[in-house]
Amino acid sequence: MTAFLSVEISLTGRRWVGPDPAADRLAEGMAQATRLPLPLCRILASRGILPEAAPAFLAPALRDLLPDPLTLKDMAPAADRLLRAVARRDRIAVFADYDVDGGASAALLLTWLRAFGIRATLYIPDRIDEGYGPNVPAMARLAAAHDLILCVDCGTLSHEPIAAAKGADVVILDHHLALETLPEALAVVNPNRQDEDGSLAHLCAAGVVFLLLVEANRRLKQQGQQGPDLMALLDLVALATVADVAPLTGVNRAFVRQGLKVMARRDRPGLRALADVARMDQAPTAHALGFLLGPRVNAGGRIGQADLGARLLATDDAMEAARLAAHLDQLNTDRRSITEAVREEALAQAEARGLTGPLVWAAAEGWHPGVVGIVAARLKEATNRPAVVIGFEGEAGKGSARSVPGVDLGAAIQRLAAEGLIQKGGGHRMAAGLSLGRSQLEPAMDRLGELLARQGAGAAGPQDLRIDSLLTPTAATVALLEEIENAGPFGASAPAPRFAFANVAVNTRRVGESHLKLGLSDGAGPTLDAIAFGAFDGPLGAALENAGHRRFHLAGKLELNHWNGRSRVQLRLDDAAPA
């Protein structure tokens, strides 16, 4: 296929690829049949949406997309045990992971139980002292004081800790990859069990917990009782789905669409306080969940007190919410500075090792375990390869890994654990964690590289830049952007559309050390504002700042910029090439 706008090598070294001709013809036919804007039809066509399905896709109804909870194995005994615990006023503990998905999953259960007057115990392990998931001492202590332990976003691989919970029933609500043998729990509800069909494998843990509550409410209704309002809980499901980078397809898309509407009402004290400290001055978007709210909820588990995020999401006290949000906001600021220091060291180490293989990795003494996952994601984005970053404390190393589309990293790391090359590890296709000794490092990374190479990791060069449509600056209006937003929300497996602007003149202004503000014009209408974040961290900044009278093709995503009470369309620049 000919490169889009003949851009074979852009300023960032990428080839531009435009819409598939067949999809373009489908989009033009859809525009004629539906009278929807052609740029929107191109987005729908690229997602495989046929003209007759466009109206339903643009207005997804949760009732039409919500699966029957009982399609998940062990859902029936899990719902029965939860309702029995409510009826008997059992002592309930919620053991959760320390990330956003774990915190939101815990908050879903705590809020639902509170509607029955039950105050469950929240337990979130310390990332450094206890590590991920249930551990024997914690489970034994919880079992001694509780009748039911609900493990959320963890537990599927925790055979020994679950066995230590003697005297209490354990229900696991998780989505991480499972082994053939499951822990001896009362129920293990997990769409990624090996005996599941995979149709719900895209759910995050909060989605699994929500389905449990749907089934519990359904059983209450059959008994003539009214359950708590589940639609009001979708803000938590939306936050977890986006923050855990779950695919925004099928029911996940409906979860986020409806959850954003719930969040806009600002009813939940914790999310209201968090939005205020994050200075969110507009209706929530998927981007805001992933880049403003999610990192702040995560900050407690990364470098502070592990349960802060879950407590914030679950609280019904506005004063407590304001205090927790302020604390998490400060921790997030601290986390950013720690992350940047580790990122620079890790990138230099990976570059010295070489960036042409199937895997990039870095490891060092003293790297904070709370930021290695973020740094792994940065390395993955910079190299288009799976990345592993490990922090050591003496002989013990804890690491996180992030993958690229088409490469199942979680399965590869589980293979390392099965072969005895690491102490433990697991996760899902796109993200995983691992623990290992210092002497295991080199052999494990060599073997992981071999396993990932078999899946095609590292076979491609710089990733092609996919363009959805060509626009003129004049056509980039607020009305068009509002139409395009109906095809969202955008995120994992449903990327925001990228538009190209051909042969435009640019004027530029540096913002801070590394960002660039631009105005672009084709001479036929108003100037379109643009922003290039981190432009001077790569080749874009210098090339565009010194453009002179040269003209460029620009590519990026459109967004609304709110300033002084006005909303204007702005291009978030991804790439550029000389025209």
The pLDDT value given to residue 461: 56
For residues 108 and 150, give the distance between their C-alpha atoms in angstroms, rounded to a whole number: 12
For residues 60 and 254, give the distance between their C-alpha atoms in angstroms, rounded to a whole number: 6
DSSP string computed for 417-458: HHTTSSSEEEE-SSEEEEEEEGGGHHHHHHHHHHHHHHTTTT
The pLDDT value given to residue 523: 87
Provide the CATH number for the domain formed by 4-17+467-578 in this structure: 2.40.50.460
Q: How far is the CA of 98 from the CAs of 112, 308, 403, in angstroms?
A: 20, 9, 21
For residues 411 and 201, give the distance between their C-alpha atoms in angstroms, rounded to a whole number: 14
Q: Which residues pair with 517 in a beta bridge?
A: 509, 531
Burial degree of 279 (CB within 10 A; 0-12, 13-18, 19+): exposed
φ, ψ of residue 22 in degrees (nearest 5)? -65, -40
Report whether 150 contacts 127 (CB < 8 A): no
The pLDDT value given to residue 382: 86
Nearest CA-CA partner of 399 in 419, 382, 416: 416
The pLDDT value given to residue 548: 84
For residues 294 and 241, give the distance between their C-alpha atoms in angstroms, rounded to a whole number: 10
Q: What angle do CA 462, 465, 468 make, to 5 degrees?
A: 165
Provide the CATH number for the domain formed by 65-329 in this structure: 3.90.1640.30
Domains of the chain, residue spans: 4-17+467-578, 19-56, 65-329, 354-454
The pLDDT value given to residue 310: 97
For residues 105 and 176, give the distance between their C-alpha atoms in angstroms, rounded to a whole number: 14
The CA-based dihedral angle spanning residues 253, 255, 260, 261, taken in that order and rounded to the nearest 10 degrees: 110
Looking at residue 274, the DSSP 8-state letter turns out to be H
The β-bridge relationship of strands 387-393 and 360-365 is: parallel
Residue type, 154: C
For residues 525 and 564, give the distance between their C-alpha atoms in angstroms, rounded to a whole number: 24
Q: Could you tell me the two tokens for 428?
A: 């899902």
| Cis? peptide before 489, omega within 30° of 0 | yes
Q: How far is the CA of 399 from the CAs of 227, 350, 362, in angstroms?
A: 41, 15, 10
The pLDDT value given to residue 460: 60
Residue type, 533: F
For residues 110 and 228, give the distance between their C-alpha atoms in angstroms, rounded to a whole number: 12
Radius of gyration of the chain (CA): 24
Report whether 146 contacts 164 (CB < 8 A): no
Question: One digit per residue, pLDDT tens: the chain, 579 residues?
Answer: 789 999 999 999 899 999 888 888 999 999 999 999 999 999 999 888 999 999 999 999 999 999 999 999 999 999 999 999 999 999 999 999 999 999 999 999 999 999 999 999 999 999 888 988 999 999 999 999 999 999 999 999 999 999 999 999 999 999 999 999 999 999 999 999 999 999 999 999 999 999 999 999 999 999 999 999 999 999 999 999 999 999 999 999 999 999 999 999 999 999 999 999 999 988 899 999 999 999 999 999 998 899 999 999 999 999 999 999 999 999 999 999 999 999 999 999 999 999 889 999 999 999 999 999 999 999 998 888 999 999 999 999 999 999 988 899 999 999 999 999 999 998 888 899 999 999 999 999 999 999 999 998 877 656 789 999 999 999 999 999 999 999 999 998 899 999 999 999 999 999 988 899 999 999 888 899 999 998 998 899 999 998 888 999 999 999 988 777 778 899 999 999 999
Is the sign of the CA dihedral 204, 209, 212, 218 positive or negative?
negative
What number of other Cβ atoms are within 10 A of residue 82's Cβ? 25
Q: What angle do CA 407, 409, 411 make, to 5 degrees?
A: 110
DSSP string computed for 128-180: TTT-SS--HHHHHHHHHH-SEEEEES--TT-HHHHHT-TTSEEEEE--S---S
Looking at residue 538, the DSSP 8-state letter turns out to be S
Q: Could you tell me the two tokens for 525?
A: 């209408």
Nearest CA-CA partner of 163 in 192, 187, 140: 140
Report whether 447 contacts 435 (CB < 8 A): no
The pLDDT value given to residue 514: 87
Q: Could you tell me the two tokens for 415?
A: 């293979």
Burial degree of 160 (CB within 10 A; 0-12, 13-18, 19+): exposed
Q: What angle do CA 350, 354, 356 make, to 5 degrees?
A: 120
**One CATH from 3.30.750.24, 2.60.120.10, 3.10.310.30, 3.40.50.261 for 354-454:** 3.10.310.30
Q: Could you tell me the two tokens for 206?
A: 């909060």
For residues 423 and 430, give the distance between their C-alpha atoms in angstroms, rounded to a whole number: 20
Buried b (16+ CB within 10 A) or exposed e, 98-130: bbbbbbbbbbbbbbbbeeeebebebbbbebeee
pTM value > 0.85: yes
Q: Could you tell me the two tokens for 175?
A: 């989505």
The pLDDT value given to residue 327: 97
Q: What angle do CA 513, 518, 519 make, to 5 degrees?
A: 160
Q: How far is the CA of 390 from the CAs of 98, 352, 376, 537, 556, in angstroms?
A: 18, 16, 9, 24, 33
For residues 424 and 8, give the distance between their C-alpha atoms in angstroms, rounded to a whole number: 43
For residues 241 and 286, give the distance between their C-alpha atoms in angstroms, rounded to a whole number: 10
φ, ψ of residue 144 in degrees (nearest 5)? -70, -20
Can you count the helices (H) and strands (E) in the chain?
21, 18
